[in-house]
Amino acid sequence: MTATSGIDWSVPPHRLPLNRPLIPLADLINSRVDFSGQIVPFGGFIQEDSTPIHSLAAFDELGLFLAVKNEALQYFDGALWHELYAPIRDLVSYARIGDRVYFSDGISIGLIYNFAYEPLEDILVGVPSEELRAYYRQTMIPTPAGQLLEIHQGRLFSAQGNVLWFSEPLAFHRVNQLTNFIVFEGMIKLLKSAAKVLYVGDAAGVHTIKGSFPLEITKETVAVCEVPRHVSVAHIGMKSLLPREMEDSETFAFVTSDGICLGGSDGRYLKLTGRRLGDLSPTMVACVFNQRIGHLFVLVN
């Protein structure tokens, strides 16, 4: 074999076609495929810590690296781990606004500011009059914890099961329980803001939401497909690698049963792979784009 077309998950290994100029692979370990189809080994790695961790997130501008270790949310300073909040009971989602990072594991919600944990503010913080405070006591609730968080149009969105809650504008700690929610068919598994468009994935497929929240929005289903149980999204920072119809859009890559897909800031949805994948409902998928070499890595667990 002189070159490969990459990994093909659409058929079992014994059914892979071997009579092509570019032979597909059943698996590839510690290597990557370059633009010419050559297999290039990675340089290896050094294990710094053997303790299992999950929910990794790096916020370079804040100098903040977060992960869950020993059932606690911790940050790493380059030498030591420092506990921020415990207990953490599930995967953690993060949403950054300025110098604050909101987090939630679906049960608890809080924020990290200046390398320290802070609970969400009381719903009455910043309310100027007693009359307005009385109204807020009747209509507002603290922003619910959710399995996914996202910042969109100056609001904090929290996906709690199949309900998508969104905060008041620039008041990320409170939600109007009468108006600030959207109910979907099944558990929300994908939540991504792309400029004026919000992408939401659930059991019925992938949807786009456009317009001003809460009353002037339109919802459109752009794909009927299965979304993995947990999927991360990668921003594609090299316009030259994008299809022509996506070049003028801020574009993100993610994985559904349609394969690798692109979502644009204009609401355009594009499938990159020709064949559908199998059942992804129990799967966790991470998409990472390497700006230096121009490769999109898709990690499936």
Are 105 and 143 part of one and the same domain? yes
The DSSP code for 47 is -
Q: Among the three residues 133, 162, 183, which one is the final residue of a domain in this structure?
A: 183
Are 24 and 125 part of one and the same domain? no
Q: Among the three residues 143, 168, 183, which one is the final residue of a domain in this structure?
A: 183
Are 68 and 164 part of one and the same domain? yes
What does the pLDDT read at residue 279? 67
pLDDT surpassing 70 at residue 275: no
Are 77 and 111 part of one and the same domain? yes
pLDDT digit string, tens, across residues 241-261: 777 777 777 888 888 888 888
List the 116-118 sheet strands across, edge first.
93-97, 100-104, 109-113, 116-118
CB contact set of 281 (below 8 Å; sequence gap of 6+): 226, 228, 229
Arithmetic mean of pLDDT, 224-245: 78
- Flag whether 239 is in a domain: no
pLDDT digit string, tens, across residues 60-70: 999 999 999 99
pLDDT digit string, tens, across residues 152-163: 999 999 999 999
pLDDT digit string, tens, across residues 191-214: 999 888 999 999 889 999 999 888
**Residue 283 structure tokens:** 């799967």
Q: Among the three residues 183, 207, 238, which one is the final residue of a domain in this structure?
A: 183
- Flag whether 202 is in a domain: no
The structural domain count of the chain equals 2
Are 64 and 177 part of one and the same domain? yes
Residue predicted with more confidence, 287 or 53: 53
CA dist 172 → 115, 141, 192, 215 (Å): 19, 11, 17, 18
Domain of 103?
A: 55-183
Are 38 and 65 part of one and the same domain? no
Which residues is 100 bridged to in the sheet? 97, 113
